[in-house]
Amino acid sequence: MQGMMRLSALTTALCGVLVLGGCNIQTDEASPASGTELESGEAAQELTLCGTTCPAGHHVTSQTCNPAACGGSCSSAYSYNQVTCAPNTETFSQCGGPCPSGWQATEWGCSSACADFCNGIYVNQTTCTRGCDPRAGTYGRKTLYTSAESEYAYRSGWCGIGTVYPAMCHEGTYYYSQSLETRGCLRAGSNGTCQDPDAVWRVTCRSSVQCVYDCDGNCVQTHCS
């Protein structure tokens, strides 16, 4: 009976270190221009705004510097503080890049409407066409960081998938591998040291998990059983 209890405790500790639910994955997404409000009926119209970005669902068609309307000064030929925005359509040309999620870059060029010189070789305009990412439906890998507390006695199993343990499906997530990112002693054990078997450590694992690409090119974590 005591042997079964120790095995159960070991399994619980390892599962806690291998996977910790509810982790947050940060993504970089373009934010709408602050302070911009669209009145009813304007969503499909061209907009001229002070600033350097357009609201969600729009792209920059021209860039200029307008001190009278937007303040500041035109210190160089490359500076701008006013943009003209148009709603995204199936195909459109925008100043700069990359294309928004769901559109693919199909052409590159240079336009005098964008706030850079066109000298025959410089590219400042991108043509974007609506369509799926060519990787859509294929599997990829993404990185997760998970943290848990574990006793020092179980250190040989910390972040063990792909090393101590093979790649596996664990609690709905398929793990390819793990590595120990950080560890730190939270509480000394019964003999007063962090190397005591019952000392408690905070362990963070870096995990490579399975995902599948969607039409927008985002690799969405898969579910396994």
CA-closest candidate to residue 154, choices 191, 192, 183: 183
Give the residue, 210 or 15, on which the prediction is more confident. 210
Contact 207, 143 (CB under 8 A): yes
pLDDT, residue 97, reads: 80
Q: What does each C-alpha distance from 66 to 81, 87, 202 come to in angstroms?
A: 6, 22, 54
Q: Which residue type occupies 180?
A: L
For 62-118, what is each residue's pLDDT tens digit?
A: 999 899 999 887 776 668 899 999 999 999 999 988 898 888 888 988 888 987 777
Distance CA 217, CA 165 (A): 31
pLDDT, residue 154, reads: 96
CA-closest candidate to residue 216, choices 103, 107, 94: 103
pLDDT, residue 104, reads: 85
Strand runs (DSSP E) across 58-151, as ranges? 58-64, 82-87, 91-95, 103-109, 125-130, 139-151
From 26-30, 39-43, 158-162, the region with the lowest mean pLDDT: 26-30
Tokens of 93: 């040309």
127: buried, middle or exposed (CB in 10 Å: 19+, 13-18, 0-12)?
A: middle
CA angle 166, 171, 173 (to 5 degrees): 65
Q: What is the pTM of this model?
A: 0.51
From 27-36, 113-122, 182-191, the region with the lowest mean pLDDT: 27-36
Contact 173, 185 (CB under 8 A): no
Query: In sequence order, which residues have a C-beta less than 8 Å from that of residue 205 and are 6 or more positions away?
Result: 17, 18, 145, 146, 147, 158, 159, 178, 179, 180, 181
pLDDT, residue 26, reads: 33
CA angle 2, 148, 170 (to 5 degrees): 75
